[in-house]
Amino acid sequence: MTTVTAGTISAADAPPEEPERSIWGRMTGSFVLRRLVKALFTIWFVATATFFLLRLMPGNPVDTFIATQVNTNGMSLADASALAAGLFAFNPSESLMSQYFSFITGLAQGDLGVSITSPGTTVATVIQIYLPWTLFSVGVATLISFFVGLFCGIVMAYRRGSWLDHVLTTVGSILGSIPDYLIAVFVLVVLGVKFGLFNVATARGAMSPGVEPNLSLDFLSDILYHASLPILCYVLAEVGNWALLMKSSTTETLGEDYVTVATARGLSHSRIRFGYVGRNAVLPLVTQLAVGLGFVVGGSIFVESFFKYPGIGSALFAALQSRDYTVMQGIFLIIAIAVVVANLLADILYSRLDPRVRVASSVSE
């Protein structure tokens, strides 16, 4: 039997030294870096999938342009073909892999390409023109629906089982199940045409004719007036979902042990409601809001088309009609980047708010 003197530890009994992690090991062990690598891979995958899926659509930009000139403008097939050959630099017979290589090479250099149906206009210019309008309308609507939904959800949770809870839950469920474009049809046809609550002709577009963009109050009120109908549609389509999510989260939080302990300690209702229940109940919805803001870039094709609102959705709809591959690729890529970045920021934010997420992620990966 081996005797160990006090204060000394033999080499056999000493705990094994933890091997020093390499630089690569420390890098791959980073929570943020792992999420960043996944985000870059997702963006590449979406860009690649979008490139090939768009080319599976029937027709191409040249054929679509020729058909439009023949059927709409009455041109002969030969004249329409000659006009298309002079306007477009796109070659439909070029191999897909050659087109893909050119697309990825340009993308790696930050070049989204040039519009096929609008020669000389870069895709970046198209996005720069249309994107701000969508960011304004859908962004404002998302924030309004989020905060209104939070308030309604808290009321529903604290008064669950009452008539107010039943009414708000029913309304929220109905609104949450109706797509925004059907709400747009209702607003346009019923409220605008049938009851005449607003002038359909003047409410369309982004701003009134003759108005020059500036920072004046008149300009801001004018663009807000024209964006009010799309904003109304987005709010009605989303506020019910936020309210139901907040009700569920608040109800679950009310059953936690720390809320019971805080009540037993005699803390004030306001402190329990905001310091314990509200702060923890809203935590899952913060990440949902970050993801929702990522979808802001996508806008809505049908809502913007109904109201003639010049957002990124209407630009995408026009590109779909003309089969403008490069514009569609650029818009879908911007949407994908916005969603992926929003998810990345949501993961990072949630990991900072709740460190257990980082620990669980490290164990699972």
pLDDT of 117: 84
Total domains in the chain come to 1
> In this structure, what CATH number is given to the domain that contains residue 264?
1.10.3720.10
- In the chain, which stretches have pLDDT less than 50? 1-15, 17-19, 21-28, 359-360, 362-363, 365
- Please tell me the distance from the alpha carbon of residue 236 to that of residue 247, in angstroms, as a whole number: 17
- Please tell me the distance from the alpha carbon of residue 330 to that of residue 126, in angstroms, as a whole number: 9
Q: Residue 245: which domain range? A: 126-325
Tell me, yes or no, whether 159 lies in a domain: yes
- Distance set, CA 81 to CA 121, 238, 321 (Å): 22, 46, 19
pLDDT of 29: 52
Q: Cβ distance 297 to 338 under 8 Å?
A: yes
pLDDT of 351: 67
- At 268, which amino acid appears? S
Tell me, yes or no, whether 18 lies in a domain: no
* Helix 31-54, helix 325-353: angle, nearest 10: 160
pLDDT of 125: 93
Q: For residue 114, which phi and psi values (nearest 5 degrees)?
A: -120, 140
Tell me, yes or no, whether 188 lies in a domain: yes
User: For the segment 270-286, what is each residue's pLDDT rounded down to a tens digit?
Assistant: 777 767 777 778 877 87
Tell me, yes or no, whether 14 lies in a domain: no
Tell me, yes or no, whether 108 lies in a domain: no
Give the pTM.
0.78
Partner residues linked to 122 by β-bridges: 114
Report the b/e string of 105-128 with b at 16+ CB within 10 A.
eebeeeebbbbbbbeeebbeebbe
Tell me, yes or no, whether 318 lies in a domain: yes
Partner residues linked to 114 by β-bridges: 122
Tell me, yes or no, whether 17 lies in a domain: no
Tell me, yes or no, whether 339 lies in a domain: no
- At 270, which amino acid appears? S
